[in-house]
Structure 1
């Protein structure tokens, strides 16, 4: 009898749970990770999905969820109720999109020698101050290949 083992790739690094080789090999596979807004800050979320979007040349996507369990892993305070979790998720997505939009087209170009040239006038802070988050911005990575990573809700 042949036993088949299920293989799951696990990362010890924070971030979307996909291995970088998926991004470097092939060009037709989308890279979708499910990450909760309940326990993650929008600035970190923008980076978590922005970097793989660059590495994969625009194939990253975010399956946005809120968490109904797991609060014991994030310190005292308990889990917010559903209304607050959804309001937080809505604000988090608003902030993440603003951060991705904080770099205008043409903000980063190649100079005559091939070196990157930054036009600081095309990079702006977002100045967000809301119920759950205060984020100055801008994001500290260049504009994404997709401008915004596609996002879906559960």
Structure 2
């Protein structure tokens, strides 16, 4: 995944602060908000940049496996596809809400009990969020930023 292939990506700079068996530990450098964020149009950059530096475990690409890993305290570039950020946002926020709303609507249509629809809504919302956490936990690497430049 590189920025030169025409893909829309969010890029952030980081500094290598440690090593692990499968990659490196990168401290993402805090940066000011992008122009879209300043206008009130989110671009997803908040996933990769925060006000305070934070550390992220990043797997080293196969091109670095044969070579030496990036040097300690060296600058690296992390990227994440915007489509991946959008997909993750829909999965985390949209899907549980839609499931909860549909379940509450069905419960309201099938029963006259006043408490059933709100109970179904919150129960399904919490259940679907926990289910997604379990299901996405196995695919967490798909939603992680990638190291492209060291």
Greater RCO (CA < 8 Å, at least 6 residues apart): 2
More strand by share: 2
Whether TM-score is above 0.5 comes out as no
Q: Compute the TM-score of the two structures, normalised by the length of structure 1.
A: 0.27
More helix by share: 2
